[in-house]
Structure 1
Amino acid sequence: MSTQLGNKKIMAKNIQYYMDLYNKTRNDICQDLGIKYTTFTDWIKANTYPRIDKIELMANYFNIEKSDLIEEHNKESVQSDRPLPSNIILPSAHKLPIMGTICAGDGVVCEDDYQGTFIVDIDVKADYCLKVHGDSMIGANIYDGDIVFISKSYDFVQDQIYAIERLDYNEASLKRVTQDGDTLILNPCNPEYHAMVTDYEEVRIIGRCVGVLHKYV
Protein backbone atom coordinates (compact mmCIF):
# COMPACT_ATOMS: atom_id res chain seq x y z
CA MET A 1 0.00 0.00 0.00
CA SER A 2 1.34 3.39 -0.95
CA THR A 3 1.07 6.40 1.36
CA GLN A 4 1.41 8.96 -1.41
CA LEU A 5 -1.03 11.75 -0.59
CA GLY A 6 -2.30 14.14 -3.21
CA ASN A 7 -1.62 11.78 -6.11
CA LYS A 8 -4.22 12.65 -8.73
CA LYS A 9 -3.87 9.36 -10.64
CA ILE A 10 -4.36 7.25 -7.51
CA MET A 11 -7.39 9.32 -6.53
CA ALA A 12 -8.86 8.98 -10.02
CA LYS A 13 -8.32 5.21 -10.05
CA ASN A 14 -9.92 4.77 -6.62
CA ILE A 15 -12.96 6.90 -7.45
CA GLN A 16 -13.51 4.94 -10.66
CA TYR A 17 -13.13 1.66 -8.77
CA TYR A 18 -15.91 2.49 -6.33
CA MET A 19 -18.09 3.92 -9.09
CA ASP A 20 -17.84 0.58 -10.90
CA LEU A 21 -18.34 -1.41 -7.70
CA TYR A 22 -21.56 0.40 -6.81
CA ASN A 23 -22.80 0.92 -10.39
CA LYS A 24 -22.66 4.70 -10.14
CA THR A 25 -22.21 7.06 -13.08
CA ARG A 26 -20.77 10.55 -13.09
CA ASN A 27 -24.27 11.98 -13.38
CA ASP A 28 -25.48 9.88 -10.42
CA ILE A 29 -22.74 11.12 -8.12
CA CYS A 30 -22.94 14.75 -9.24
CA GLN A 31 -26.69 14.81 -8.68
CA ASP A 32 -26.53 12.99 -5.35
CA LEU A 33 -23.66 15.04 -3.91
CA GLY A 34 -24.23 18.38 -5.60
CA ILE A 35 -20.87 18.37 -7.39
CA LYS A 36 -20.40 20.09 -10.74
CA TYR A 37 -20.11 17.58 -13.58
CA THR A 38 -17.00 19.25 -15.04
CA THR A 39 -15.33 19.32 -11.64
CA PHE A 40 -15.99 15.63 -11.00
CA THR A 41 -14.85 14.74 -14.52
CA ASP A 42 -11.53 16.47 -13.85
CA TRP A 43 -11.11 14.31 -10.73
CA ILE A 44 -11.64 10.99 -12.49
CA LYS A 45 -9.47 12.07 -15.42
CA ALA A 46 -6.69 12.95 -12.95
CA ASN A 47 -6.64 16.57 -14.08
CA THR A 48 -7.29 17.98 -10.61
CA TYR A 49 -7.40 16.76 -7.00
CA PRO A 50 -10.50 17.18 -4.79
CA ARG A 51 -10.45 19.20 -1.59
CA ILE A 52 -10.50 17.24 1.67
CA ASP A 53 -14.16 18.09 2.33
CA LYS A 54 -15.08 16.61 -1.05
CA ILE A 55 -13.00 13.51 -0.35
CA GLU A 56 -14.88 13.07 2.93
CA LEU A 57 -18.18 13.60 1.11
CA MET A 58 -17.37 10.84 -1.41
CA ALA A 59 -16.07 8.51 1.31
CA ASN A 60 -19.35 8.85 3.24
CA TYR A 61 -21.27 8.30 0.00
CA PHE A 62 -19.49 5.00 -0.69
CA ASN A 63 -19.41 4.08 3.03
CA ILE A 64 -15.63 3.80 3.00
CA GLU A 65 -12.69 5.51 4.71
CA LYS A 66 -11.04 8.61 3.22
CA SER A 67 -7.83 6.59 2.98
CA ASP A 68 -9.61 4.22 0.57
CA LEU A 69 -9.75 7.10 -1.90
CA ILE A 70 -6.40 8.73 -1.08
CA GLU A 71 -4.06 5.75 -0.86
CA GLU A 72 -3.08 3.20 -3.48
CA HIS A 73 -4.62 -0.25 -3.07
CA ASN A 74 -4.61 -3.45 -5.00
CA LYS A 75 -8.04 -4.78 -5.86
CA GLU A 76 -7.70 -7.90 -3.70
CA SER A 77 -7.02 -5.93 -0.51
CA VAL A 78 -9.94 -3.59 -1.11
CA GLN A 79 -12.32 -6.48 -1.68
CA SER A 80 -11.16 -8.35 1.40
CA ASP A 81 -11.45 -5.26 3.63
CA ARG A 82 -14.92 -4.21 2.50
CA PRO A 83 -18.08 -6.33 2.22
CA LEU A 84 -19.63 -6.24 -1.23
CA PRO A 85 -23.11 -4.79 -1.69
CA SER A 86 -25.85 -7.34 -1.11
CA ASN A 87 -27.24 -6.91 -4.64
CA ILE A 88 -23.95 -7.28 -6.52
CA ILE A 89 -23.73 -9.97 -9.21
CA LEU A 90 -20.48 -11.90 -9.13
CA PRO A 91 -19.36 -14.98 -11.11
CA SER A 92 -22.03 -14.86 -13.84
CA ALA A 93 -21.81 -11.12 -14.46
CA HIS A 94 -20.04 -8.75 -16.79
CA LYS A 95 -19.71 -5.00 -17.17
CA LEU A 96 -21.32 -2.93 -19.90
CA PRO A 97 -20.23 0.65 -20.60
CA ILE A 98 -22.87 3.36 -20.20
CA MET A 99 -22.34 5.41 -23.35
CA GLY A 100 -24.59 8.38 -22.68
CA THR A 101 -28.23 9.31 -23.20
CA ILE A 102 -30.69 8.49 -25.97
CA CYS A 103 -33.95 10.30 -26.62
CA ALA A 104 -37.37 8.74 -26.25
CA GLY A 105 -39.16 11.89 -27.26
CA ASP A 106 -39.14 14.25 -30.21
CA GLY A 107 -35.45 13.77 -30.99
CA VAL A 108 -32.31 15.13 -29.38
CA VAL A 109 -28.65 14.62 -29.99
CA CYS A 110 -27.49 11.36 -28.48
CA GLU A 111 -24.75 12.09 -25.96
CA ASP A 112 -21.81 9.86 -26.82
CA ASP A 113 -20.29 10.22 -23.38
CA TYR A 114 -18.81 7.38 -21.35
CA GLN A 115 -20.44 7.48 -17.90
CA GLY A 116 -19.04 4.41 -16.21
CA THR A 117 -20.15 0.80 -16.27
CA PHE A 118 -23.18 -1.23 -15.33
CA ILE A 119 -22.96 -4.81 -14.06
CA VAL A 120 -25.42 -7.21 -15.69
CA ASP A 121 -25.97 -10.93 -15.87
CA ILE A 122 -23.81 -12.63 -18.46
CA ASP A 123 -26.98 -13.81 -20.24
CA VAL A 124 -27.73 -10.21 -21.27
CA LYS A 125 -26.31 -10.14 -24.81
CA ALA A 126 -25.66 -6.42 -25.10
CA ASP A 127 -22.67 -4.29 -26.01
CA TYR A 128 -23.44 -1.11 -24.08
CA CYS A 129 -26.12 0.80 -22.15
CA LEU A 130 -27.90 4.09 -22.77
CA LYS A 131 -29.97 6.19 -20.40
CA VAL A 132 -33.43 7.10 -21.67
CA HIS A 133 -34.63 10.69 -21.80
CA GLY A 134 -38.28 11.27 -22.68
CA ASP A 135 -41.63 9.47 -22.71
CA SER A 136 -42.26 8.44 -26.32
CA MET A 137 -41.75 4.73 -25.53
CA ILE A 138 -43.92 4.35 -22.43
CA GLY A 139 -46.24 2.00 -24.32
CA ALA A 140 -43.31 -0.41 -24.51
CA ASN A 141 -42.66 0.02 -20.76
CA ILE A 142 -39.58 2.18 -21.38
CA TYR A 143 -39.67 5.28 -19.22
CA ASP A 144 -37.66 8.43 -18.67
CA GLY A 145 -34.57 7.61 -16.61
CA ASP A 146 -34.54 3.90 -17.49
CA ILE A 147 -31.41 2.17 -18.78
CA VAL A 148 -31.71 0.29 -22.07
CA PHE A 149 -29.29 -2.42 -23.17
CA ILE A 150 -28.21 -2.17 -26.81
CA SER A 151 -26.75 -4.90 -29.01
CA LYS A 152 -24.72 -3.75 -32.01
CA SER A 153 -25.09 -7.17 -33.65
CA TYR A 154 -28.60 -8.09 -34.76
CA ASP A 155 -30.76 -9.58 -37.47
CA PHE A 156 -33.48 -7.10 -38.35
CA VAL A 157 -36.89 -8.16 -37.05
CA GLN A 158 -40.09 -6.28 -37.85
CA ASP A 159 -41.66 -4.22 -35.07
CA GLN A 160 -38.73 -4.53 -32.70
CA ILE A 161 -37.23 -1.57 -30.82
CA TYR A 162 -34.01 -0.10 -32.16
CA ALA A 163 -31.73 2.82 -31.40
CA ILE A 164 -31.93 5.00 -34.52
CA GLU A 165 -29.68 7.87 -35.55
CA ARG A 166 -31.06 10.46 -37.97
CA LEU A 167 -28.08 11.41 -40.10
CA ASP A 168 -29.49 14.68 -41.39
CA TYR A 169 -30.08 16.13 -37.91
CA ASN A 170 -27.50 14.16 -35.93
CA GLU A 171 -30.36 13.03 -33.69
CA ALA A 172 -30.84 9.67 -32.04
CA SER A 173 -33.87 8.05 -30.48
CA LEU A 174 -35.54 4.77 -29.58
CA LYS A 175 -38.28 3.66 -31.96
CA ARG A 176 -40.22 0.54 -32.90
CA VAL A 177 -39.15 -0.03 -36.51
CA THR A 178 -41.14 -1.49 -39.41
CA GLN A 179 -39.61 -2.02 -42.86
CA ASP A 180 -41.53 -1.81 -46.12
CA GLY A 181 -39.11 -2.27 -49.01
CA ASP A 182 -36.56 0.54 -48.75
CA THR A 183 -38.85 2.49 -46.44
CA LEU A 184 -38.56 2.50 -42.68
CA ILE A 185 -41.40 3.50 -40.39
CA LEU A 186 -40.19 4.70 -37.02
CA ASN A 187 -43.00 4.27 -34.54
CA PRO A 188 -43.12 5.79 -31.07
CA CYS A 189 -45.02 3.89 -28.38
CA ASN A 190 -47.00 6.86 -27.14
CA PRO A 191 -50.09 8.22 -28.96
CA GLU A 192 -48.94 11.78 -28.27
CA TYR A 193 -46.09 11.32 -30.76
CA HIS A 194 -46.25 10.70 -34.51
CA ALA A 195 -44.54 8.04 -36.59
CA MET A 196 -41.85 9.07 -39.06
CA VAL A 197 -41.40 7.58 -42.54
CA THR A 198 -37.84 7.52 -43.85
CA ASP A 199 -35.32 5.26 -45.63
CA TYR A 200 -31.91 3.77 -44.98
CA GLU A 201 -30.13 6.75 -46.57
CA GLU A 202 -31.45 9.10 -43.89
CA VAL A 203 -30.96 6.99 -40.79
CA ARG A 204 -28.54 4.57 -39.24
CA ILE A 205 -29.62 1.76 -36.94
CA ILE A 206 -27.23 2.00 -34.00
CA GLY A 207 -28.37 -1.26 -32.43
CA ARG A 208 -31.28 -3.30 -31.15
CA CYS A 209 -32.77 -2.83 -27.70
CA VAL A 210 -32.44 -6.20 -25.96
CA GLY A 211 -33.46 -5.22 -22.44
CA VAL A 212 -34.44 -2.43 -20.10
CA LEU A 213 -33.84 -1.70 -16.43
CA HIS A 214 -36.43 0.57 -14.84
CA LYS A 215 -35.25 3.53 -12.81
CA TYR A 216 -37.79 2.79 -10.09
CA VAL A 217 -37.99 -0.87 -9.10
Structure 2
Amino acid sequence: MPRNKLSPLEAKIRKDISDKLKFYSRGMTQKELSEKTGIPVSTLSGYFARRSTPNIGAIEKLSEALNVNKSDIDPRLAKSVMPNNVIPITGMVKIPLLGEIACGDPILAEENIEEYIDEPVNYLPSGTYFYLRAKGNSMKPTIPNGAKVLIRQQPDIEDNEIAAVLMTDSNEATLKRIKRADGTMFLMPDNPEYSPILVNKDNPARILGKVIRMVIDF
Protein backbone atom coordinates (compact mmCIF):
# COMPACT_ATOMS: atom_id res chain seq x y z
CA MET A 1 0.00 0.00 0.00
CA PRO A 2 1.38 3.44 -0.89
CA ARG A 3 2.53 5.53 2.05
CA ASN A 4 0.16 8.21 3.30
CA LYS A 5 -2.72 6.82 1.22
CA LEU A 6 -5.93 8.64 2.09
CA SER A 7 -8.84 6.78 3.60
CA PRO A 8 -12.07 6.90 1.56
CA LEU A 9 -13.59 9.21 4.18
CA GLU A 10 -10.69 11.69 4.08
CA ALA A 11 -10.73 11.64 0.27
CA LYS A 12 -14.46 12.45 0.30
CA ILE A 13 -13.96 15.28 2.80
CA ARG A 14 -11.27 16.83 0.61
CA LYS A 15 -13.47 16.52 -2.48
CA ASP A 16 -16.46 18.10 -0.71
CA ILE A 17 -14.39 21.03 0.57
CA SER A 18 -12.73 21.52 -2.81
CA ASP A 19 -16.10 21.55 -4.60
CA LYS A 20 -17.55 24.02 -2.07
CA LEU A 21 -14.56 26.36 -2.34
CA LYS A 22 -14.76 26.36 -6.13
CA PHE A 23 -18.48 27.10 -5.97
CA TYR A 24 -18.41 29.91 -3.40
CA SER A 25 -15.26 31.56 -4.75
CA ARG A 26 -16.37 31.63 -8.37
CA GLY A 27 -15.35 34.91 -9.97
CA MET A 28 -12.46 35.25 -7.50
CA THR A 29 -8.88 34.18 -8.14
CA GLN A 30 -6.93 32.18 -5.58
CA LYS A 31 -4.61 35.18 -5.21
CA GLU A 32 -7.58 37.40 -4.32
CA LEU A 33 -8.86 34.80 -1.87
CA SER A 34 -5.38 34.59 -0.35
CA GLU A 35 -5.33 38.35 0.19
CA LYS A 36 -8.75 38.25 1.90
CA THR A 37 -7.94 35.32 4.18
CA GLY A 38 -4.22 35.65 4.80
CA ILE A 39 -3.82 32.01 3.73
CA PRO A 40 -0.87 31.54 1.32
CA VAL A 41 -1.77 30.80 -2.31
CA SER A 42 0.27 27.58 -2.15
CA THR A 43 -1.85 26.39 0.79
CA LEU A 44 -5.11 27.38 -0.89
CA SER A 45 -4.02 25.55 -4.02
CA GLY A 46 -3.69 22.38 -1.94
CA TYR A 47 -7.28 22.75 -0.71
CA PHE A 48 -8.64 23.32 -4.22
CA ALA A 49 -6.62 20.44 -5.69
CA ARG A 50 -7.56 18.06 -2.82
CA ARG A 51 -3.92 17.67 -1.77
CA SER A 52 -4.58 18.82 1.81
CA THR A 53 -7.42 19.35 4.27
CA PRO A 54 -7.93 22.79 5.89
CA ASN A 55 -8.01 22.86 9.69
CA ILE A 56 -10.74 24.65 11.63
CA GLY A 57 -8.79 27.93 11.68
CA ALA A 58 -8.52 27.97 7.89
CA ILE A 59 -12.21 27.07 7.52
CA GLU A 60 -13.12 30.05 9.71
CA LYS A 61 -11.02 32.43 7.60
CA LEU A 62 -12.47 31.06 4.36
CA SER A 63 -16.06 31.27 5.59
CA GLU A 64 -15.57 34.91 6.66
CA ALA A 65 -13.94 35.85 3.35
CA LEU A 66 -16.66 34.14 1.31
CA ASN A 67 -19.48 35.33 3.60
CA VAL A 68 -20.87 31.85 4.19
CA ASN A 69 -21.26 29.56 7.18
CA LYS A 70 -18.37 27.28 8.11
CA SER A 71 -20.64 24.29 7.46
CA ASP A 72 -21.22 25.56 3.91
CA ILE A 73 -17.55 24.83 3.23
CA ASP A 74 -16.94 21.89 5.53
CA PRO A 75 -20.00 19.62 5.89
CA ARG A 76 -18.48 18.10 9.05
CA LEU A 77 -19.40 21.35 10.81
CA ALA A 78 -23.12 21.14 10.07
CA LYS A 79 -25.29 22.24 13.02
CA SER A 80 -27.43 19.18 12.64
CA VAL A 81 -24.42 17.05 13.51
CA MET A 82 -23.02 18.89 16.55
CA PRO A 83 -23.54 22.01 18.70
CA ASN A 84 -21.97 25.31 17.66
CA ASN A 85 -19.53 25.31 20.56
CA VAL A 86 -18.04 21.91 19.71
CA ILE A 87 -15.09 21.68 17.33
CA PRO A 88 -15.14 18.32 15.55
CA ILE A 89 -12.14 16.05 15.90
CA THR A 90 -11.44 14.66 12.45
CA GLY A 91 -8.67 12.29 13.49
CA MET A 92 -5.88 11.58 15.92
CA VAL A 93 -2.14 11.36 15.44
CA LYS A 94 0.39 9.72 17.76
CA ILE A 95 3.09 12.12 18.97
CA PRO A 96 6.25 10.55 20.45
CA LEU A 97 7.31 11.45 24.00
CA LEU A 98 11.11 11.46 24.04
CA GLY A 99 13.16 10.25 26.96
CA GLU A 100 16.94 10.21 27.00
CA ILE A 101 18.39 11.03 23.60
CA ALA A 102 20.78 8.37 22.33
CA CYS A 103 24.15 9.69 21.20
CA GLY A 104 24.40 10.25 17.45
CA ASP A 105 20.87 9.08 16.66
CA PRO A 106 18.24 11.17 14.87
CA ILE A 107 16.08 12.97 17.43
CA LEU A 108 13.03 10.81 16.64
CA ALA A 109 14.90 7.50 16.60
CA GLU A 110 12.85 4.68 18.12
CA GLU A 111 15.30 4.18 21.00
CA ASN A 112 14.66 7.78 22.13
CA ILE A 113 10.89 7.30 22.43
CA GLU A 114 9.29 6.49 25.80
CA GLU A 115 5.67 6.39 24.65
CA TYR A 116 3.18 7.96 22.23
CA ILE A 117 0.54 10.56 23.09
CA ASP A 118 -2.64 10.88 21.02
CA GLU A 119 -3.19 14.42 19.71
CA PRO A 120 -6.20 15.72 17.67
CA VAL A 121 -5.18 16.51 14.10
CA ASN A 122 -7.38 19.65 14.15
CA TYR A 123 -5.07 21.50 16.49
CA LEU A 124 -1.80 20.77 14.71
CA PRO A 125 -0.55 22.90 11.84
CA SER A 126 1.78 21.21 9.36
CA GLY A 127 5.11 19.97 10.67
CA THR A 128 6.77 17.24 12.72
CA TYR A 129 6.05 17.15 16.45
CA PHE A 130 7.35 15.47 19.58
CA TYR A 131 6.84 15.79 23.33
CA LEU A 132 9.49 16.37 26.00
CA ARG A 133 8.97 16.04 29.74
CA ALA A 134 10.14 19.15 31.60
CA LYS A 135 12.79 18.36 34.22
CA GLY A 136 13.60 20.71 37.09
CA ASN A 137 12.37 24.17 37.98
CA SER A 138 14.39 26.46 35.70
CA MET A 139 11.34 27.38 33.60
CA LYS A 140 8.87 27.90 36.47
CA PRO A 141 6.31 29.35 36.62
CA THR A 142 5.90 29.10 32.83
CA ILE A 143 6.65 25.37 32.61
CA PRO A 144 6.52 23.36 35.84
CA ASN A 145 8.59 20.27 36.54
CA GLY A 146 7.05 17.14 35.03
CA ALA A 147 4.89 18.90 32.42
CA LYS A 148 4.69 17.27 29.00
CA VAL A 149 5.70 19.92 26.47
CA LEU A 150 4.69 19.74 22.80
CA ILE A 151 7.51 20.73 20.43
CA ARG A 152 7.33 21.56 16.72
CA GLN A 153 10.57 20.36 15.17
CA GLN A 154 12.48 23.22 13.50
CA PRO A 155 16.14 24.31 13.46
CA ASP A 156 15.63 27.87 14.69
CA ILE A 157 13.14 30.14 16.47
CA GLU A 158 12.67 33.85 17.17
CA ASP A 159 14.22 35.57 20.16
CA ASN A 160 12.17 35.36 23.38
CA GLU A 161 10.42 32.17 22.23
CA ILE A 162 10.92 28.95 24.20
CA ALA A 163 12.86 26.19 22.48
CA ALA A 164 13.82 22.60 23.05
CA VAL A 165 17.62 22.68 22.88
CA LEU A 166 20.04 19.77 22.65
CA MET A 167 23.30 20.24 24.54
CA THR A 168 25.47 18.36 22.07
CA ASP A 169 28.28 17.36 24.45
CA SER A 170 25.92 15.67 26.91
CA ASN A 171 23.06 14.73 24.52
CA GLU A 172 20.72 16.28 27.10
CA ALA A 173 17.61 18.14 25.95
CA THR A 174 16.60 21.26 27.84
CA LEU A 175 13.77 23.81 27.59
CA LYS A 176 14.91 27.43 27.61
CA ARG A 177 13.96 30.84 26.24
CA ILE A 178 16.25 31.98 23.41
CA LYS A 179 18.09 35.31 23.50
CA ARG A 180 20.80 36.51 21.12
CA ALA A 181 23.29 39.35 21.49
CA ASP A 182 26.24 40.22 19.25
CA GLY A 183 26.04 36.88 17.48
CA THR A 184 25.99 34.90 20.72
CA MET A 185 23.05 32.73 21.82
CA PHE A 186 21.94 32.51 25.44
CA LEU A 187 19.56 29.95 26.93
CA MET A 188 17.48 31.90 29.42
CA PRO A 189 15.56 30.38 32.34
CA ASP A 190 12.25 31.94 33.35
CA ASN A 191 13.04 31.25 36.99
CA PRO A 192 15.28 34.09 38.27
CA GLU A 193 16.97 31.70 40.68
CA TYR A 194 18.72 30.04 37.73
CA SER A 195 21.54 31.47 35.59
CA PRO A 196 21.55 31.81 31.78
CA ILE A 197 23.53 29.29 29.75
CA LEU A 198 26.00 30.63 27.19
CA VAL A 199 26.20 28.65 23.94
CA ASN A 200 29.68 28.68 22.37
CA LYS A 201 32.33 26.30 20.99
CA ASP A 202 33.10 25.10 24.51
CA ASN A 203 29.42 24.54 25.29
CA PRO A 204 27.78 23.69 21.93
CA ALA A 205 24.04 23.30 21.48
CA ARG A 206 21.46 23.17 18.73
CA ILE A 207 17.79 24.05 18.64
CA LEU A 208 15.49 21.06 18.16
CA GLY A 209 12.20 22.90 17.92
CA LYS A 210 9.72 25.44 19.23
CA VAL A 211 7.53 24.95 22.29
CA ILE A 212 3.85 24.97 21.24
CA ARG A 213 2.01 24.08 24.45
CA MET A 214 2.21 21.87 27.51
CA VAL A 215 0.12 19.22 29.25
CA ILE A 216 0.08 18.83 33.03
CA ASP A 217 -1.12 15.62 34.68
CA PHE A 218 -2.92 16.19 38.00
Q: TM-score, normalised by structure 1?
A: 0.48
Structure number with greater CO (CA < 8 Å, separation at least 6) is 1
User: Considering only CA atoms, is the larger Rg found in Structure 1 or Structure 2?
Assistant: 2
